[in-house]
Amino acid sequence: MKSIKVGLLGIGTVGSGTFNVLKRNQQEIAARAGRAIEITMVADLDIERAKKLTHDEVAIVDDANLVINHPDIDIVIELIGGYGIAKDLVLKAIANGKHVVTANKALIATHGNEIFKAAQKKGVIVAFEAAVAGGIPIIKVLREGLTANSIQWIAGIINGTTNFILTEMRDKGLDFGVVLKEAQRLGYAEADPTFDIEGVDAAQKLTIMASIAFGIPVQLSKAHVEGITKLQATDIRYAEQLGYRIKLLGITKRTAGGIELRVHPTLIPSARLLANVEGAMNAVQLRGDAIGDTLYYGKGAGSEPTASAVIADLVDITRLATADPEHRVPHLAFQPNAMADTPIMPMAEITTSYYLRMHVADQPGVLADVALILADSSISIDAMLQKKLAIGETRTDIIILTQQIQEKNIEAAIAKIEALATVVGAVIKIRLEELG
């Protein structure tokens, strides 16, 4: 049977991993796919480096258009990144009747609706398993493995850089800035780590998962996004004393009021499996009405883990290439004409629990004043700590865990607490999820 010819756009970390794994495991992959899959063209601006990485075994060009216009190419792998030229190339490849595999979460989260519409019209497949959580096959789980379920919620540690930083802050008691420099030195963080530490990378991945889980269009612009730059080692230590750990979570939930779509630091009970995901590892926990809670854990980045997901998409497309387009698995799991217009909830309307830390004067009546404000706002206290900062210190920290309350109500209460003469500075607020 004729082999599947693949064109690769970009042979960096993931591209070289894809080339090497596909070559190393070619016989087993062919046995699974039903025919051979081979990369025959590579487009990269650094031709000499590309020749070395491919051992000069394939055609190397510096113009991606030569790949997507080549009549013998069946599948285009886009590993350029970003959503400028990458978007144009993907749409051109689709227009040329070629299937597309991409690891580009920014592209799918930002322009996925347009790309999937074009692919549906042309009868080709756009596969993007590698765009979320690296080697963890979470897209396939959501699109296929759990199709019998009504997904209730997803909570994921889906950025390895921030998870490494938070693990180091907890284990070593160091502040964010110190650990970030160490993460950059070790290669866990980019020279410009903004997308990671500000939560943008996690929001892109969460947006894609939410669309597949709930049958809604990709809506990155409606996600609430907070990073970890303002987290203090003090709060990580207090959380630990209360039986919690702080993780940067991507959370999406189906509620009566709509879909929650949010990324932010979150307290999780230390006993939860998700709380014990350490270092640069990723994990996604979700709840389905039939299956209950499940957890998916593994490497969220890296050359060969991500290549594993890219090649899995190549195999899927190879198996399905001759299938009637109307009977393939839809890009976002739901049939295009069955997508829902369920609204994304504003953060003011979401309901969760909270960790509050306030720096106050060490004098009688302060705690009573705070408790009265919370009671008047119908906010119940679940746990509390009072920590003297040092012998002879005239101020103390009060840490409160609340029961569930709407965000707008906790914000109103915090404003009243900060107005007290005995409260110094801003109240620190971190959301809390039991995930149980």
Active site residues: 205
- Euclidean distance between CA atoms 153 and 130, whole angstroms: 21
Q: Among all chains, which residue has been given the structure tokens 């996925």?
A: 112
- Euclidean distance between CA atoms 428 and 242, whole angstroms: 16
For the CA atoms of 345, 346, 348, 351, the dihedral, rounded to the nearest 10 degrees, stands at 20
Q: Which residues on neighbouring strands pair with residue 43, listed in sequence order?
A: 9, 61
Per-residue H/E/C for the chain: CCCEEEEEECCCHHHHHHHHHHHHCHHHHHHHHCCCEEEEEEECCCHHHHHHHCCCCCEEECCHHHHHCCCCCCEEEECCCCCCHHHHHHHHHHHCCCEEEECCHHHHHHHHHHHHHHHHHHCCCEECHHHCCCCCCHHHHHHHHCCCCCEEEEEEECCHHHHHHHHHHHHHCCCHHHHHHHHHHHCCCCCCCHHHHCCHHHHHHHHHHHHHHHCCCCCHHHCEECCCCCCCHHHHHHHHHCCEEEEEEEEEEEECCEEEEEEEEEEEECCCHHHHCCCCEEEEEEEECCCEEEEEEEECCCHHHHHHHHHHHHHHHHHHCCCCHHHCCCCCCCCHHHCCCCCECCHHHCEEEEEEEEEEECCCCHHHHHHHHHHHCCCCEEEEEEEECCCCCCEEEEEEEECCEEHHHHHHHHHHHHCCCCEEEEEEEEEECCCC
Lookup: tokens for 270: 């230390």
* Backbone dihedral angles phi then psi of residue 146, each to the nearest 5 degrees: -115, 25
Sign of CA dihedral 51, 53, 57, 62: negative
- Euclidean distance between CA atoms 266 and 263, whole angstroms: 9
Q: Among all chains, which residue has been given the structure tokens 């900062």?
A: 389
